Amino acid sequence: MSTKRKSIIVIILLISTLFFIKFAIDRREVYNFDLRIEKAFPNIEFDKPVDFQSTPDDSDLIFVVEQAGIIKVFQNNPKVSSTSIFLDISNRVESGGEKGMLGLAFHPNYTRNGLFFVYYMVDNPLRSRVSSFVVYADRSEANQNSEKIILEISQPYSNHNGGQIIFGDDGYLYIGLGDGGSGGDPENNGQDLTTLLGTILRIDVDNVSDSRNYSIPNDNPYYSNTNGYKEEIYAYGLRNPWRMSFDIETGNLWVGDVGQNKIEEVDIIESGKNYGWNTMEGSSCYNANTCETTGLELPVAEYDHSLGISITGGYVYRGSIHESLVGNYIFGDYGTGRIWKLDINNLTGGIIQLMKVNLNIVSFGTDNMNELYILAFDGFIYKFV
């Protein structure tokens, strides 16, 4: 090949590369070419994994919740080839579609009390249930007969069940609940403070009241109100908070709230705030040209349905392996496999796409070193490399 022809080919390749980079930037799809994902535990597979948790101790164990009602446990080692069943209550769980066992949280004093909590769906009538269990003395398995029902919430429809439960640094349990389902919030639960639906709840599971297996923190925003508002409510106006997490450095509570027809949103949850649904979908009025937005909390980030159709909330990355991700909220989209980052110190900078993968991204999780994992409905757990 002549030197002249080689030079022409090089120029064509250079122009093509520059065009692709410009196109990606114009679309705000700025890819990190040094970052990809791979299977974190390639020798083990799960049936519809929906939650990933680790215990607040130095055991370095990973717990994965399967939607049907099984929790599996294994060592945090990429070469691990088998799992053990930690809890199997699939005979109690109503599963399928958006129903199932959806959340797991270990008590902050789990090392001493062996106590953990699960969120799952029950049928006849359909309701959400939060229960506690304890482990056997050797900590290898939970005692199925130790269940104590903490809270139950009736569900009018089968979808929008939320399902994440997490403990805050304050020691209280936070529970994410959707608006009750169907489409468009037909019962207007999102703006109704007399129902627990469409909210983030905050309860004290270490102290019981006369009529409940929990108590209400006295600094909850509607504690001892005289309007009939539910005192468990911490924040409201949510459609379907699908995955939420605390930033371990700032204490901020991050939520991915699934949209209706147009917009997926990211919220930072604060006490007593109203996040707008169903008056608003994201930063837009829902099914109206204008709406009253006074007192409504707008998302810190959002994207429309040209980019994704169902947000999966994630975590603010506080690990040590991926320096470029530190201080970024990492989240994804179930329908399109896109994974984004949002700089928490520059929220006006918008979301930046890290990658697009051929996976249904259903959840994220972190281990005891704060490294981030991605759960997909192909049955595998992934990590950034």
Both 48 and 5 in one domain: the answer is no
Does position 246 have pLDDT exceeding 80, yes or no? Answer: yes
Does position 16 have pLDDT exceeding 60, yes or no? Answer: no
Residue range 87-119, pLDDT digits in tens: 999 999 999 999 999 999 999 999 999 999 999
- Lowest-confidence pick of 44-48, 55-59, 281-285: 55-59
Q: How far apart are CA 237 and CA 66, in angstroms?
A: 28
Q: What letter does residue 27 receive in the DSSP assignment?
A: T
Both 19 and 103 in one domain: the answer is no
Q: How far apart are CA 336 and CA 308, in angstroms?
A: 6
Both 260 and 277 in one domain: the answer is yes
Is the overall model pTM greater than 0.85, yes or no?
yes
Residue range 307-366, pLDDT digits in tens: 999 999 999 999 999 999 999 999 999 999 999 999 999 999 999 999 999 999 999 999
Both 62 and 1 in one domain: the answer is no
Domain, as residue range, for 7: 1-30
Both 190 and 264 in one domain: the answer is yes
Phi-psi category of residue 327: left, alpha or beta, with phi > 0 → left and psi -120 to 50 → alpha: left
Burial class (CB in 10 A: 0-12, 13-18, 19+), 267: buried
Q: Are 314 and 245 within 8 A, CB to CB? A: yes
Q: What is the DSSP string of 218-264?
A: TTSTTTT-SS---TTEEEE--S-EEEEEE-TTT--EEEEE--SSSEE
E strands within 317-380?
Answer: 328-333, 338-343, 352-356, 361-366, 372-376
CATH number for the domain spanning 110: value is: 2.120.10.30
- Report how many domains make up the chain: 2
The sign one gets for the Cα dihedral 77, 78, 84, 89 is: positive
Residue range 225-237, pLDDT digits in tens: 999 999 999 999 9
Confidence of residue 19 (pLDDT cuts 50, 70, 90): very low
Both 194 and 68 in one domain: the answer is yes
Both 222 and 271 in one domain: the answer is yes
Q: How far apart are CA 209 and CA 337, in angstroms?
A: 44
Both 18 and 91 in one domain: the answer is no
Confidence of residue 7 (pLDDT cuts 50, 70, 90): low
- The residue length of the chain stands at 385
Does position 26 have pLDDT exceeding 50, yes or no? Answer: no
Both 303 and 351 in one domain: the answer is yes
Nearest Cα to Cα of residue 246 among 319, 171, 168: 168
Does position 201 have pLDDT exceeding 70, yes or no? Answer: yes
Tell me how crowded residue 106 is: count the other CB atoms within 10 A of its CB: 20
Confidence of residue 276 (pLDDT cuts 50, 70, 90): very high
Both 12 and 50 in one domain: the answer is no
Q: Are 238 and 259 within 8 A, CB to CB? A: no
Does position 21 have pLDDT exceeding 80, yes or no? Answer: no
Tell me how crowded residue 197 is: count the other CB atoms within 10 A of its CB: 25
Both 365 and 313 in one domain: the answer is yes
Both 113 and 7 in one domain: the answer is no
